[in-house]
Structure 1
Amino acid sequence: MDPVRIGVLGCADIAQRRMLPAMASDPKVELVAVASRDAAKARATADGFGCQAVHGYAELLAREDIDAVYVPLPAALHAQWVEAALNSGKHVLAEKPLTTEQAVTERLVGQAAAARLALVENVMFVHHPQHAAVRRLLADGAIGELRVLHAAFAIPRLPDDDIRHDPVLGGGALWDTGVYPVRAALYFLGEELRVEGASLARSAGRAVDTAGTALLSTPQGVAAQLSFGLDHGYRSVYELWGSEGRITVERAFTPAADHAPCIRVERGTGTEEIRLPPADQVAHAVRAFADFVRVGAAPDQASLHQAALLHAVRQHASVLGP
């Protein structure tokens, strides 16, 4: 089959550092063009990956030699340009969060479904094989009946001018690092989660939340305790605690491609470390999107449940700090 022809709306760091190299090296994908509102930036980025430069996002969407677009723009711009891409008949891979409003996410997912276009939120960690291996352990009863999920993702303090500090652009810890533990809870506990309580905190001098916690639960009484932040020592981990033991995965959400995962299983009889071969979750995410486009897959329903939970966290949250 012919490769999926992709255009990119924007020259964000994650696009240049991770996604464009993965697209350029995947035979199922043809990286056709990169667009920017800055012509020089578009040219510099496109030259680095052997594709064409386009001055302006609308100009890229008007091209007939592109099947799909990747949207790595700031979160607050996703809704506008995802909708424009769908209106132009393009499949869409958008950075997380898909949008910052639950109702808008629902509308765009409905639009994509009606047009039979793939709409995928780029939550890459779910494509890493280590998490499927953990699911199999749970299904096999490795730790008995699941009681609690603990998940945390936080990164060190960002430069003052980073867009994640700008509320106008959809900044804040919830939209950035909070997506990961929320999606982990959905991945392991299912779609019936509800938010029991939450808090969001601001560091001094910041106009957005820089830290947060949330408590979720399932109808069966399994709890999820989540933490996230933009002003912390680095942490990327989840722990599943059952009636007979625990499963822990470190470097859970953004492992390097050469990282060999270790799943730690602790039971009364001792601790077992299950080591897996390295896997490039970025390459897996790109390949999965290409496959979705090829088969005309329906929009990713997990994005709807994630949007609902993120909305509920914000609605429930008490705001702490200056």
Structure 2
Amino acid sequence: MRAMDGMSATGGVNAVTDVNAAGSLSTAGGMSDVNAAEGLSTAGGMSAMSDVNAVEGLSAAGGVNVASRPVRMAVLGAADIARRRMLPAMTRAAGVEPVVVAGRRPAETGRLAAEFGVEAAGDYETALLRDDVEAVYLPLPNALHAPWAERALRAGRHVLVEKPLTTCAADTARLQRLADERGLVLMEAMMFVHHAQHEEVRRLLDGGALGTPLAFTAAFTVPPRDPGDIRYRADLGGGALLDTGVYPLRAAQHLLGGDLEVLGAVLRCGDEVDVGGAALLVSPRGVTAQVEFGFDRPYRCSYEIRGSRGGLLLDRAFTPPADLTPVARRTGLDGRTDDLPLRADDQFAALLRSFARAVRTGERHGDAAASLAQARLVDRIRETARRVPA
């Protein structure tokens, strides 16, 4: 891999170093292809959408038939998540069409391109500057999100970036401002919020099925990775907070609102990065949110809402397979439970449909505000957390 040493908080790059780490900063899959970025400008501010609670997942149906004019996309990086999840979704989602995959390893990139019937490029710059490319998807290590997103935006391309959009709120705000100024879409690939199950949960919550919301808990934890995994690399933007922590944080925002306050946090720190942690947050109405994250403990992927009339538990909250029928378990005040089947959905395809509609219609539906609010929560947790040795 080619990684960036000495990256500034605003996405600048000071040096390039080769690494051979395996793995990914995206929990959905490993990443094998990292490329170099040059120093980029850091001007900007922020202009974001205001409704974090707006529906973030959209179907292809509506006033514009996105399938009739698909968004032509370049994939910058032969990452495992691109191979296993995003490229297959691109082939079945209405509204997008992959045309090229770029990667540093020619043989690997060529195999990936052949598998999905697209062209291969030996470097990212060549791919994003192609005349037939309208948008790029960036499944790169976290520290490379900001510089390559900026480069793509300045080249006039719409951008879909793996989560987290950047490693800090300042970079997120700066890039959102740049996208707004140029009339381009910049979207974070936080795919789980596009799954229909969360809208069904929110309808139950808003409809009073649980009474007055009182508490929310969520966890996304996975067992330890291989020691060479780039999640353990500070210079590549590693760490559990950015890797798995953003999922329960975003779920809390999605269901409780974007104006959450961090009351306290703990980060368990390894040699370079945090490997686990927890945080306590509160909404303006006094609803508490406890989130747990890490890659140092058994697998958990769930959230639970408790209210004055009962509770609701959703398992496989962040990584449900497309053919899985989700089940929410409701518990009453008497302790009795019943299972509520929810609708199966393909969250990767739903994300791509939402991105395509944003490109074709300009509809943003609060995703920019949600990404910025999430980045600010991450910053606040970093600033206030008590750090303990792992």
1:294 aligns with 2:363: no
Paired residue total? 320
Alignment correspondent of 1:261: 326
Give the aligned residue type for 1:275: P
Structure 1: distance between partners of 2:352 and 2:278: 30
Alignment correspondent of 2:154: 87
1:31 aligns with 2:98: yes
CA displacement at 1:288 relative to structure 2: 1.3
Alignment correspondent of 1:245: 310
CA displacement at 1:221 relative to structure 2: 0.9
**DSSP 3-state at the match of 1:153:** strand
Alignment correspondent of 1:231: 296
Alignment correspondent of 1:55: 122
Structure 2: distance between partners of 1:277 and 1:177: 24
**DSSP 3-state at the match of 1:177:** helix
CA displacement at 1:41 relative to structure 2: 2.4
**DSSP 3-state at the match of 1:23:** helix
Structure 2: distance between partners of 1:201 and 1:304: 25
CA displacement at 1:202 relative to structure 2: 2.5
Give the aligned residue type for 1:241: R
CA displacement at 1:314 relative to structure 2: 0.7
CA displacement at 1:215 relative to structure 2: 0.6
**DSSP 3-state at the match of 2:368:** coil
Give the aligned residue type for 1:119: L
CA displacement at 1:296 relative to structure 2: 2.3
Alignment correspondent of 1:74: 141
1:199 aligns with 2:277: no
Contact 1:117 1:297 in 2 (8 A): no
1:153 aligns with 2:209: no
Structure 2: distance between partners of 1:13 and 1:163: 13
Runs of 4+ more than 4 Å apart: none
Q: How does 1:9-28 map to 2 (within 5 A)?
A: 9-28=76-95
Residue of 328, 347, 350 corresponding to 1:284: 350
Structure 2: distance between partners of 1:17 and 1:26: 15
Contact 2:196 2:343 in 1 (8 A): no
**DSSP 3-state at the match of 1:178:** helix
**DSSP 3-state at the match of 2:164:** coil
Q: What TM-score does the superposition give when structure 2 sets the normalisation length? A: 0.80
Alignment correspondent of 2:284: 219
Alignment correspondent of 2:230: 163
Structure 1: distance between partners of 2:152 and 2:362: 16
Structure 1: distance between partners of 2:296 and 2:197: 27
1:314 aligns with 2:382: yes
- Alpha-carbon spacing, 1:27–1:284, altered in 2? closer, same or farther (3 Å): closer
* Most deviating of 268-277 and 81-90: 268-277
Give the aligned residue type for 2:279: A
Contact 2:136 2:152 in 1 (8 A): yes
Structure 2: distance between partners of 1:196 and 1:268: 28
Structure 2: distance between partners of 1:24 and 1:180: 26
1:109 aligns with 2:176: yes
CA displacement at 1:39 relative to structure 2: 2.3
Q: What TM-score does the superposition give when structure 1 sets the normalisation length? A: 0.96
Structure 1: distance between partners of 2:297 and 2:346: 26
Structure 2: distance between partners of 1:35 and 1:253: 28
Structure 2: distance between partners of 1:277 and 1:188: 18
Structure 1: distance between partners of 2:92 and 2:284: 44
Structure 2: distance between partners of 1:58 and 1:213: 39
Structure 2: distance between partners of 1:101 and 1:319: 19
Contact 1:70 1:92 in 2 (8 A): yes
Q: 1:194-245, CA deviations, whole angstroms, 9 ceiling, x for partnerless residues?
A: 1111111025xx4211101001111211110010011211000101011111
Structure 2: distance between partners of 1:280 and 1:30: 17
Give the aligned residue type for 1:273: D
Give the aligned residue type for 1:71: L
Structure 2: distance between partners of 1:222 and 1:308: 19
Alignment correspondent of 2:203: 136
RMSD between superposed Cα atoms in Å = 1.2
Contact 1:157 1:230 in 2 (8 A): yes
Q: 1:157-208, CA deviations, whole angstroms, 9 ceiling, x for partnerless residues?
A: 11111111111111110000001000011101112111111111025xx421
Could you tell me which runs of 5 or more consecutive residues in structure 1 were left unpaired when the two chains were aligned: none
Structure 2: distance between partners of 1:183 and 1:28: 25
Structure 1: distance between partners of 2:241 and 2:234: 12
Could you tell me which runs of 5 or more consecutive residues in structure 2 were left unpaired when the two chains were aligned: 1-67
* Most deviating of 265-274 and 65-74: 265-274
Q: 1:125-172, CA deviations, whole angstroms, 9 ceiling, x for partnerless residues?
A: 101111101111111111110011100000111111111111111111
Give the aligned residue type for 1:281: Q
* Most deviating of 153-162 and 20-29: 20-29
Contact 2:93 2:350 in 1 (8 A): no
Structure 2: distance between partners of 1:101 and 1:199: 18
CA displacement at 1:265 relative to structure 2: 1.3
More helix by share: 1
Give the aligned residue type for 2:170: A
Contact 1:116 1:297 in 2 (8 A): no
**DSSP 3-state at the match of 1:40:** helix
